[in-house]
């Protein structure tokens, strides 16, 4: 491997500068409130706090993201700050993989356009603030693809091992990211099966990924039981009548579909067989992920994964244009389409509760009598309360005997079941109310 040229250093510095600008934008938004964003924001606080206090996760889940965020929390001295800074930084590091993947297929301009589309994607905003594990897993997913591609291009077994290593990291972070990485490697390998490629280069990441998947089914602590979500998806798909209900979502899937077709056409024009097969694979997967036949609870997540494919395909299209001026104009048009959506999305994201509601929760917890358990049926509210006290349960049946019970409800929600007549009002705020129950008796 030769020494770095001046051009290499300038390219790396340019991508780093773009990442720093994007990091600043994201962090300013993160710290515009002391609360964590998204419905799962407090969940990350609970998991990281559990690692710090007990040495393990409180709830089974793919563990890697939480341990990374724990390291940031230790370094920065605060769990909330660690989660905010760590999640954004790890996610944006993926831009390096995006750049070098596109740069090796085409020209520098293609890589730069791909990076700008990636870091300023409205979909990345949604993932970074609402689905933190998914966002962090993008980095491991994209480095898996990058090293796999380079291993085939350079016929390097060392790079194949690196790809295998990163697909394991992906699986230990998020199951959808892992599924995409696994499918990319599997399909690319199949399309190259008749080519003169070394079998050990194509098979090694696949074997590592397959081994992790098997272990994930056997041991829920490895991948948090997430592989079974794949089975749930297949069952939902078999029983699904979602096509008509997803007609309203066609506006979201049309762009990925058209982009996938454009990528397919572009792949035909590429001269190198490995470049051709990789872009073809990415284009096919992008189209398949955005078919309006999936149940809604899966389709919206699949659609967000467009953030992986769109920058690469658009970067290759721009970089492959013979006329540089045309490429620059197309780049400006694409960025002119992306940036307003990015600005709108970053303005819209918010925590799942207001500061006023959070302060009411803190006030309620401070007034809790000893030997009291808060029963909180609403998951969103329960996560926030768990950041302040461990004495929380989902339902009365989960409360230990002889414990006092306080039922906590969010006023904005309609509750199907009426409260028992023996309850007494305990707390009444603008956002939440709480009712005291007598101690739970011992079972005979």
Q: The tokens 């590592």 sit on which residue?
A: 208
pLDDT at 169 over 70: yes
User: pLDDT per residue over 122-144, tens digit each?
Assistant: 999 999 999 999 999 999 999 99
Find all residues with CB under 8 Å of 112, minimum gap 6, and list them. 14, 15, 18, 99
pTM, full prediction:
0.90
User: pLDDT per residue over 213-228, tens digit each?
Assistant: 888 888 878 887 777 7
Which CB contacts under 8 angstroms, 24+ apart, belong to 72-81? Answer: 73/48, 79/45, 79/48, 79/49, 79/52, 80/34, 80/36, 80/45
User: pLDDT per residue over 293-350, tens digit each?
Assistant: 787 788 888 999 999 999 999 999 988 887 778 878 888 888 888 889 899 999 999 9
Helix/strand/coil for 428: strand
User: pLDDT per residue over 19-38, tens digit each?
Assistant: 999 999 999 999 999 999 98
| Confidence band of 351 (pLDDT split at 50, 70, 90) | very high
pLDDT at 14 over 90: yes
């Amino acid at each position: 491997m030769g020494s770095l040229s001046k051009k290499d250093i300038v390219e790396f510095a340019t991508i780093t500068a773009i990442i720093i600008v994007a990091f600043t934008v994201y962090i300013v938004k993160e710290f515009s409130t002391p609360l964590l964003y998204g419905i799962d924001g407090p969940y990350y606080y609970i998991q990281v706090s559990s690692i710090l206090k007990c040495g393990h996760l409180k709830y089974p889940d793919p563990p890697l993201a939480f341990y990374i965020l724990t390291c940031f929390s230790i370094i920065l001295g605060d769990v909330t700050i660690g989660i905010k800074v760590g999640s954004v930084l790890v996610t944006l590091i993926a831009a390096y993989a995006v750049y070098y993947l596109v740069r090796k297929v085409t020209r520098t301009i293609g890589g730069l356009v791909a990076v700008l589309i990636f870091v300023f994607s409205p979909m990345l905003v949604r993932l970074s603030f609402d689905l933190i594990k998914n966002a962090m897993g993008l980095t491991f997913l994209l480095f898996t693809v990058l090293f796999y591609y380079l291993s085939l291009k350079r016929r390097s077994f060392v790079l194949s091992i690196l790809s295998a290593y990163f697909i394991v990291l992906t699986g230990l972070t998020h199951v959808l990211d892992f599924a995409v990485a696994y499918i990319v490697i599997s399909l690319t390998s199949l399309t190259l099966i008749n080519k003169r490629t070394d079998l050990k280069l194509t098979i090694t990441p696949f074997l590592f990924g397959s081994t992790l998947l098997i272990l994930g089914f056997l041991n829920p602590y490895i991948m948090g039981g997430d592989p079974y979500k794949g089975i749930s998806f297949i069952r939902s798909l078999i029983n699904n009548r979602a096509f008509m209900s997803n007609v309203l979502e066609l506006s979201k899937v049309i762009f990925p579909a058209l982009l996938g077709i454009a990528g397919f056409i572009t792949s035909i024009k590429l001269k190198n067989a490995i470049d051709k097969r990789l872009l073809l694979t990415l284009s096919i997967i992008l189209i398949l992920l955005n078919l309006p036949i999936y149940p809604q609870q899966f389709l919206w997540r699949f659609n967000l994964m467009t953030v992986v494919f769109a920058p690469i395909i658009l970067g290759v299209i721009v970089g492959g244009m013979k006329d540089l001026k045309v490429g620059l104009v197309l780049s400006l048009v694409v960025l002119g389409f992306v940036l307003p959506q990015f600005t709108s999305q970053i303005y819209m994201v918010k925590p799942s509760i207001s500061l006023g509601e959070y302060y009411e929760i803190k006030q309620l917890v401070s007034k809790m009598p000893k030997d009291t358990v808060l029963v909180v049926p609403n998951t969103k509210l329960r996560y926030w309360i768990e950041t302040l006290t461990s004495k929380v349960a989902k339902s009365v049946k989960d409360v230990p005997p002889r414990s006092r019970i306080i039922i906590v409800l969010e006023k904005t929600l309609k509750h199907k079941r009426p409260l028992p007549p023996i309850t007494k009002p305990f707390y009444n705020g603008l956002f939440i109310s709480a009712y005291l129950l007598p101690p739970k008796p011992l079972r005979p």
